[in-house]
Copies of this chain bind each other. A is one copy, B any other.
């Protein structure tokens, strides 16, 4: 593929991130952010390793309201962290279950400049503290009178608006995955299992330059599938089935998240109409996305089309969400979310409906909010489902 996108970010990007964080911390009355998860550690430092797949060792980064970042990490990671812009790196010979970084973290937090007495941690919705909960409680007791507070509002504010360099990566993986979806029908045929169909798609995205596909869901059923989160199974896809493949595929730490539907043989009228309805609902969502609109506006724009098309509802709870270093991020396109869109937000537009009992149709595209509307990051699906065979 001719298209290439640089990997990694220049030091200036990380400096800008830290500066934004420090400004937000003052507003939220925090003396520091304390982060433990792959995405937050990577977002602040650039530390890039698949080693997060091993749950054995915790990793900690402290972003003080004033001054430089502190990484408190297992020795095994020191040579890698040393290649990032972080200079204050403190290590221990993990795993040491008796004290896996706990005293180092307590010392680091204890010596920070104090103003508010609050340390923001990953405690709120859509975050996970990636460390033993007992150690988190132990640290909380040791650092008193300093106290942990929820850092989620700051972290959301930071990661919810992407830089142009971040959007470059998401666009890149959206484009290569779109091209893989376009090439897929000729690799598919009735008689394959859902699992085999998804394997073909996994190989297609790898060949086109993706790093990995942490999410590659596939489900097929006669005239429509009955769920969108299980599978692929060993079920054989037969003529008359509709197959959905939904993928979270990554490039340089950033995800796409969208799906495509495939008809095995000419689809029946109900399936055709359902696909057309979710396609039009997607268009309504894209058309509604601009600065000043809210996530709830997007939901309403999509819901209106689906209701008119006779939707029986769905069990997803929303119609799209934020997208970036994780498959799903804040915010949610749902009534009551009411997040105002601003340029730099990246969202999935994901209307779905049960159009007959046990038959679902879901569609999805990815967009970036711009100054005057939005940019489609994926290659727009055709209004008619591709037909296999």
**Do the beta carbons of B131 and A55 come within 8 Å of each other?**
no
Residues of A77-125 at the interface with B, using a CB-CB cut-off of 8 Å, are 77-80, 83, 93-97, 100, 121-125
Q: Are A206 and B199 in contact (CB under 8 A)?
A: yes
List the 10 closest pairs (A to B, CB-CB), nearest first: A51-B229, A54-B328, A123-B133, A123-B134, A75-B315, A97-B125, A53-B215, A80-B230, A53-B327, A53-B214
A150 contacts partner chain B, Cβ-Cβ < 8 Å: yes
- Neighbouring B residues of A248 by C-beta, 8 Å: 53-54
Residues of A within 8 A of B (CB): 7, 48-51, 53-57, 74-80, 83, 93-97, 100, 121-134, 136, 150, 152, 199, 202-203, 206-207, 212-217, 226-230, 234, 248, 315-318, 321, 326-328, 332, 334
A-B contact pairs, 14 of them (CB 8 A): A49-B229, A49-B230, A50-B215, A51-B215, A75-B317, A76-B228, A76-B229, A78-B315, A79-B226, A95-B318, A127-B133, A132-B152, A133-B136, A212-B213
Q: Is the CB of A128 within 8 A of B130?
A: yes
Q: Is the CB of B317 within 8 A of A77?
A: no
Q: Which residues of B contact A125 (CB under 8 A)?
A: 56, 95, 97, 100, 132
Instruction: Specify which chain B residues have a CB less than 8 angstroms from the CB of A228 in the assembled complex.
Output: 76
| Cβ-defined partner of A129 (8 Å) among B57, B126, B129, B327 | B129
Which of chain B's residues have a CB closer than 8 A to the CB of A152?
132
Whether B317 pairs with A96 at a CB distance below 8 angstroms is yes
Q: In whole angstroms, what is the CA distance A74 to B134 when docked?
A: 26
Residues of B within 8 A of A317 (CB): 57, 74-76, 93-96
Quick one: which of A126, A150, A332 has the most chain B CB within 10 A?
A126
**Alpha-carbon distance A317/B202, docked complex (angstroms):** 34
Residues in B with CB closer than 8 Å to A122 are 133
Distance between Cα atoms of A199 and B345 in the complex (Å): 31
Residue numbers in B under 8 Å from A94 (CB-CB) = 317
B53, A126: Cβ atoms closer than 8 Å: no
Complex CA gap A55/B213 in Å reads 16
A96, A132, A214, A318 interface centre (most CB from chain B within 10 Å)? A132
A362 to chain B, nearest CB (A): 11
> A222 to nearest B CB, angstroms?
16
Q: Determine the residue in chain B with the shortest Cβ distance to A36.
A: B128
A321 surroundings in chain B (CB, below 8 A): 56
**Distance between A236 CB and nearest chain B CB, rounded to angstroms:** 14
Among A123, A213, A229, A328, which residue has the most Cβ atoms of chain B within 10 A? Answer: A229
Q: A315 — which chain B residues lie within 8 A by C-beta?
A: 75-76, 78-79, 93
The CA-CA distance from A84 to B327 in the complex, in Å, is: 26
Contact of A127 among B127, B132, B217, B316 (CB under 8 A): B132
* Contacts A96-B317, A215-B53, A328-B56; A128 near B126 (Cβ below 8 A): no
Residues of B within 8 A of A76 (CB): 228-229, 315-317
Q: How far is the CA of A7 from the CA of B51 in the complex (A)?
A: 27
* A129-B123 contact in complex given A51-B229, A53-B327, C-beta closer than 8 Å: no
| In the complex, chain B residues whose CB is within 8 Å of the CB of A130 | 128
Nearest-neighbour CB distance to chain B for A29, whole angstroms, equals 17
